[in-house]
Structure 1
Amino acid sequence: MAITVQRFSEVQFRAMGDAWQACLAESDANRLFMSWPWLYSWWETWSQILGLDLYLLGAFDERNILVGIAPLYRRRSYMPVGLRIDRLQIIGNAWRVSPTVRTEYCGLIFHRDRADDIRRALLQHLAQSGWDELVLCDVSPEEVEANRRVIGDAAGPVTCIRRVTDEGVSIDTTGVFGDWLKTLGKHTRLKVFNRRQYLSGKSDIQFVEAKTSDFGRFFDLLNHFHVYRWGKPAFDREAVLFHNRLLRRLSPGMRAACTFLMVDGREVSVLYDIFAGGVRYNLQSGFQEDLDPKVSLGRLHLGFAIEQAFLDETCAHYDLLAGRGKHSDYKRHFAGRINEFVTAELVRSPHLRLLYREQERLPAGWRRTINRAFRL
């Protein structure tokens, strides 16, 4: 059965939310980060600021039903020596361009029953256009290899360069919260759960979900806590705009779970989660550091949220995503599954492939210096 591929305009991107979500529902792609609400809100927020050219491909079956999506954009840059580089990236990250919100679990979207055929159709179409590198940010190692293999078959030699590897943690919440607590080390269990008794013995503790009307104050408080702890806000002006757009667009089956931890009527911790596709994603958190030296408010608040996920029959996992804490990689102690994220380049330009191959002869520190200097 024939699969046809077409490129979408920005006007079509804006109008295709329902078709996109229907395609996503038939795929194994991530229900939050590869959703139309997330990716269109990202595009609307950063595309003009960063000078990005939409390169969004859709695959259609013989019934003219959207069965696959390659959510890409193109950006042209120039090295100091004058060499032009045409890079394609997945919408949601701007690697080596500018910081934005982080989009994890990236990849192409296609109906699972014809995944190989649809991937091949999308990437063969992509191989016919002129570009030098395809940057894959925060994808699985399997996604990198599958794309490298198909593009190599369609476009000739391709060099794969791994730039960054990161890990996230996802907790299975289909069991019993108390059983999960028993799998934790004693220090983690103390911070996540046992300190509730200590704190409630001298204060009134409440775990409260924010109303939609409270979201503005919620983000203000989140940024306030981050400035105190990290010296900068969690979300800059564009990131706040992005999240407000996202929350207004959440599709059926998606919902925000913005919660406060209150002590004696004061909001001392905030936790920003979104539920999608049976998973509750922990996007950001912030808390008052100096409330009590015996209490880690951030871990305690997470404990309440994880318990709530265990009690929710529609929730199968609580995903802590990638990233470390300020002082330790605390997520590794939460008895969850480790998820690996890779950022890699698929390079087909002969000049760049030669340049990268010669770089391999140099020490790692020199390579990093050259890449920064020449914007590679």
Structure 2
Amino acid sequence: MTMKIRSELITDLKGFIEIRPKWENLHRESESRSISTSWAWMWTWWEVFGDEGELIIISIYDDDELIGVAPLWRRRVKRFGLISTFQIKLLATGEKGKDEICSDYLNLILRRGREEEAIKGMFDLLQDERWDEIVIEALEAGSGTVELLKRMASDRRLKMEELGRMSGFYVELPESWEDYLPRLSQSFRKKIKRNRRELTEALFRAVKTHSELETTFGRLIELHQERMRSLGKPGAFSSERFTEFHRLISHRMLDEGKLYMRSLELNGETIAINYGFKEGDVLYLYQSGIRSLRTNRISPGIALESFCIEEAIRAGLRRYDLMRGDEGYKFHWRPVKHEMVNLKIRRGR
């Protein structure tokens, strides 16, 4: 039986909405499944940042079966203030520095076993499109997509280069909290025990309603910004667009059962918040807000993180992802290091 691979271009919001059910079904089965490649994440990003370019989402089909989605957008950029070029990027990338939402684990959404055909379909359609370069950011370095892009770009005499790498960290979760603790240093285990003991009266709360989310999200901003200002930094929520994106996506993920927001409350005051998302068997810790207490003996952040990791283990999750960045606190939890890569594909001159 001859396969009939075809590629279609989506350039408007109507098409973006209509592909949602098929995108979500494909996403659940794809090796590139992550919170950042979900339809809701990409849609919300475009809702906030889409005024800076045009949609060019490519859907690849085998007859009526969706085997791939390339979630792309295009914009004009100037080089050296003079030369204007057409650049294609993945959705959820390309914000101005202060607005950057730092989407990790980006990728093309590809059906398992059909990756090569889907990527070929993407390149076939792009052959007749207007572009000078394609920039793909935060792609898992170990993903098979990297080698497929490299090979297919070479076959088409396109130039592909690596722009750089970034490190991320995640905790591989065992079957029980008791199995996890021995991985940690003795001194850090003592810190966890002491903080839990000192904060025995603190309440560990989960956000379950939209009204709770509004209140907790506002407190998250306060705690995060206070901490960043004390370090002489502007803080992520100083950006209106960053804040708008997260207000929207947090409510949508709550509706989908994917929001993960936990807090510690002591004497009626919220002193620590973790904000993230669940996708499949992975919990992504995206942002936190911690109040500095007047004693060095107590760290609400350590206590909250330990409760969250223990909860994730009990829920049967496979990974507790600390996302990109090499902040010192992450290493106490004995994470696994991984790399994400940024790539550029250029048409020959």
Q: TM (normalized to structure 2)? A: 0.90
Matched, 1:30 2:28: no
Of 5, 8, 20, which aligns to 1:6?
A: 8
1:83, 1:345 → 2: CA distance? 18
String of CA shifts for 1:305-361, please: whole Å, max 9, x gaps: 000001113x22111111233xx2x223322322211123223343xxxxxxxxxxx
Aligned to 1:129: 129
Instruction: State the one-letter code of the partner of 2:260.
Output: A
Superposed counterparts of 1:130-209, under 5 Å: 130-141=130-141, 142=143, 143-154=145-156, 156-163=157-164, 165-200=165-200, 204-209=201-206
Q: Kindly indicate whether the alpha-carbon contact (under 8 Å) linking 2:208 and 2:254 is maintained by their aligned counterparts in 1.
A: no
Shift in Å at residue 251 of structure 1? 8.9
1:211 and 2:221 matched: no
- Following superposition, the deviation at residue 193 of structure 1 comes to 4.3
- Once residues 85 and 114 of structure 2 are traced to their aligned partners in structure 1, the CA distance between those partners, rounded to angstroms, is 33
**Aligned CA distance change for structure 1 residues 58 and 192 (closer, same or farther; 3 Å):** farther
User: Residues 318-357 of structure 1: matches in 2 within 5 Å?
Assistant: 318-325=320-327, 328=328, 330-350=329-349
SS in 1 for 2:303: helix
Matched, 1:304 2:288: no
| Structure 1 residues 291 and 147, CA gap change in structure 2 (3 angstroms) | farther
Using the TM superposition, name which of 88-97 and 273-282 deviates more. Answer: 88-97
The verdict on how the C-alpha distance between 1:190 and 1:150 changes in structure 2, with shifts beyond 3 A counting, is farther
Q: Distance in 2 between matches of 1:255 and 1:267?
A: 22
**Against the structure 1 CA distance between its residues 16 and 185, is the aligned structure 2 distance closer, same or farther, given a 3 Å change threshold?**
same
- SS of 1:286's equivalent in the other structure is strand
Q: Is the 8 A contact 2:253 2:277 kept in 1?
A: no
The Cα of 1:190 is off from its aligned counterpart by 3.5
Deviation track 1:25-77 (CA, whole Å, cap 9, x = no partner) reads: 221112311000111011111111xx111111000111x12221000111111
Question: Aligned AA for 1:14?
Answer: I
Change (3 A) 1:98 1:224: closer
Alpha-carbon contact 1:3-1:121 (below 8 Å) kept: yes
Show the 5 A alignment for 1:250-289.
Answer: 250=253, 254-289=257-292
- For 1:17, the aligned partner's letter is R
Aligned partner of 2:118 in structure 1 is: 118
Any conservation in 1 of the 2:162–2:341 contact (CA below 8 Å)? no
The separation in 2 between residues aligned to 1:247 and 1:89, in whole angstroms, is: 24
The equivalent residue for 1:354 is none
After TM superposition, give the deviation of residue 252 of structure 1 in Å. Answer: 8.5
Post-superposition offset of 1:253:
6.8
The structure-2 alpha-carbon separation of the partners of 1:67 and 1:252, relative to structure 1 and needing over 3 Å to count, comes to farther
Gaps of 5+ in 1: 351-376
1:5-84 pair list within 5 angstroms: 5-10=7-12, 11-48=14-51, 51-62=52-63, 64-80=64-80, 82-84=82-84
In 2 relative to 1, CA 262–291 (structure 1 residues): closer, same or farther, beyond 3 Å? farther
Query: What residue identity is the alignment partner of 1:226?
Result: H
Q: Which residue of 2 is the match for residue 358 of structure 1?
A: none
Task: Give 2:335's aligned amino acid.
Answer: G
Task: Select between 88-97 and 32-41 the one with higher mean Cα deviation.
Answer: 88-97
Q: For 1:260, what is the secondary structure of its paired residue?
A: strand
Distance of aligned partners of 1:90 and 1:275 in 2 relative to their CA distance in 1, 3 Å threshold: same
RMSD: 2.1
Distance 1:81 1:250 in 2: 40
String of CA shifts for 1:165-207, please: whole Å, max 9, x gaps: 222222222421122111111343344444212343xxx1211
SS in 2 for 1:246: helix
1:233: how far off? Answer: 4.2
Change (3 A) 1:54 1:97: farther
Give the superposition deviation at 1:19: 1.4
Mapped contact 2:195–2:300 kept (Cα < 8 A)? no
Asked if structure 1 preserves the Cα contact closer than 8 Å seen for 2:49 and 2:95, the reply is no
Letter of the 1:55 counterpart: I
Match among 205, 219, 222 for residue 221 of structure 1? 219
Contact 2:134/2:346, CA 8 A, preserved across alignment = yes
Aligned partner of residue 113 in structure 1, secondary structure = coil
